[in-house]
Amino acid sequence: MRRLNRKKTLSLVKELDVFPKVPESYVETSASGGTVSLIAFTTMALLTIMEFSVYQDTWMKYEYEVDKDFSSKLRINIDITVAMKCQYVGADVLDLAETMVASADGLVYEPTVFDLSPQQKEWQRMLQLIQSRLQEEHSLQDVIFKSAFKSASTALPPREDDSSQSPDACRIHGHLYVNKVAGNFHITVGKAIPHPRGHAHLAALVNHDSYNFSHRIDHLSFGELVPAIINPLDGTEKIAIDHNQMFQYFITVVPTKLHTYKISADTHQFSVTERERIINHAAGSYGVSGIFMKYDLSSLMVTVTEEHMPFWQFFVRLCGIVGGIFSTTGMLHGIGKFIVEIICCRFRLGSYKPVNSVPFEDGHTDNHLPLLENNTH
């Protein structure tokens, strides 16, 4: 009984077979079919390689939501070189809540030479070239996000030559923690001192002829420091043409959570517009000479996540490629063969010309071929 049940089961399974086996003696091969098969296999191989490269690649997914974090502090990372001696300049932050953050809380004033060495100039030109490409091709930002990791660095390389020139500039670098409200980070003449109505700078003791706010921004970012990320103002250099000159940067900061396969960080992206003008009270241009960076925070937060194609989707697409090419090439081969047969049949029928008919006396014609008589004589 068990053997009978097994035989019935096997016969039932055989009846469900949708892949019938055709004996080789019944299969007819042709040169055209072999050519189409070769083209089909080549196409499948190329598309499979391309699909595998797509499967290996990743892309960045952007999601937007309202930023509900108002209590935490915002970190500002600064590395700016000003073409004035350190005892003549001061930097601090004043926000809309009238909270003053002095530079002594996290910034370092380092005497240096303003002119760059040849290697540093090459680094700056390369960084400015990347900045110009980023403005034209925004998709490059995704490549930077995916390649970001904490061990890399885009900072200005150290000077490779021993310059005998005395320091004529001041490098202000470090970081500050400020409230998550709009504020103004500025560098101007004199050290900052607290004031009941805000703050002030001791500029009276500085000679007016020594004002020179030519500057170079080697790095400016907000949030967690991710060295491999290139920010919009990195590599910027401005040369002052007058002693009384104001440089203004209006910055809009967007909180960003970055999640890639290499790094996860809470950083910030920002966009910036620039303006510079000469202070001339007689001409109606009022203000204070210096470098002013006015920043404002966006209410939206961006989550950038690196995603990868799942394996099941890659497998389905691969099966679609193989099955689709087999079906399509089979149909094209059948249609081409049918067209060729029609053309050849018409050509063969046109090669036979009718023989002249022999009329009968009653008006009918004889379309049969005349019989040939064998002359035996």
The pLDDT value recorded for residue 274 is: 93
The reply to whether 135 and 265 lie within a common domain is yes
The reply to whether 251 and 178 lie within a common domain is yes
Burial (CB count <10 Å: 0-12, 13-18, 19+), residue 189: buried
What SS3 state is found at 348? helix
Asked if residue 85 is part of any domain, the answer here is yes
Asked if residue 369 is part of any domain, the answer here is no
Q: Nearest to residue 60, comparing CAs of 169, 115, 142? A: 142
Asked if residue 373 is part of any domain, the answer here is no
> What angle separates helix 311-351 from helix 31-56, to the nearest 10 degrees?
160
The reply to whether 91 and 228 lie within a common domain is yes
Asked if residue 355 is part of any domain, the answer here is no
The reply to whether 213 and 329 lie within a common domain is no
Q: What is the DSSP string of 119-168?
A: HHHHHHHHHHHHHHHHHH-TTHHHHHHHH--TT---SPPPP-S---SPP-
- Per the DSSP assignment, residues forming a β-bridge with 199 are 194
Token pair listed for 287: 């203000």
- Mean pLDDT value across the chain: 80
Q: Which residue has the higher pLDDT, 30 or 111?
A: 111
Residue 352 has pLDDT above 60, yes or no: no
Q: Which residue has the higher pLDDT, 315 or 153?
A: 315
The reply to whether 244 and 329 lie within a common domain is no
Asked if residue 9 is part of any domain, the answer here is no
The reply to whether 81 and 222 lie within a common domain is yes
- Domain containing 190 equals 68-298
> What angle separates helix 140-147 from helix 118-136, to the nearest 10 degrees?
120
Total number of domains constituting the chain: 2
Residue ending a domain, choose from 267, 298, 329: 298
* Contact criterion met (CB below 8 Å) for 321 and 52: no
Residue 251 has pLDDT above 70, yes or no: yes
Asked if residue 4 is part of any domain, the answer here is no
The reply to whether 51 and 86 lie within a common domain is no
* Contact criterion met (CB below 8 Å) for 175 and 78: yes
The reply to whether 160 and 89 lie within a common domain is yes
The reply to whether 158 and 275 lie within a common domain is yes
The reply to whether 80 and 113 lie within a common domain is yes
Percent of the chain with pLDDT over 90: 21
Pairing type for strands 365-366 and 215-223 reads unpaired
Residue ending a domain, choose from 273, 298, 323: 298
- pLDDT tens sequence across 268-327: 999 999 999 998 878 878 888 899 999 999 989 999 898 888 888 888 888 888 888 878
Give, in degrees to the nearest 5, the angle at Cα 76 between 166 and 262: 105
The reply to whether 79 and 215 lie within a common domain is yes
Mean pLDDT of 189-203: 71
- Taking the C-alpha atoms of 26, 30, 32 and 34 in order, what is their torsion angle to the nearest 10 degrees? 80
The pLDDT value recorded for residue 254 is: 93
Q: Which residue has the higher pLDDT, 235 or 161?
A: 235
Mean pLDDT of 172-179: 91
The reply to whether 85 and 116 lie within a common domain is yes
**Of the spans 128-137, 157-166, 294-303, 356-365, which averages the highest pLDDT?**
294-303
Among the residue ranges 105-109, 162-166, 181-185, the one predicted with the least confidence is: 162-166
Asked if residue 20 is part of any domain, the answer here is no
* Contact criterion met (CB below 8 Å) for 231 and 271: no
Asked if residue 370 is part of any domain, the answer here is no
The pLDDT value recorded for residue 217 is: 94
Residue 361 has pLDDT above 60, yes or no: no
The pLDDT value recorded for residue 265 is: 83
- pLDDT tens sequence across 204-250: 677 777 889 999 999 999 988 887 788 889 989 999 998 889 999 99
The pLDDT value recorded for residue 116 is: 87
pTM, two decimals, is: 0.70
- pLDDT tens sequence across 52-103: 888 888 888 889 999 888 788 899 999 999 999 888 898 888 888 777 776 6
Residue ending a domain, choose from 298, 330, 358: 298
d(Cα 249, Cα 262) in Å, to the nearest integer? Answer: 32
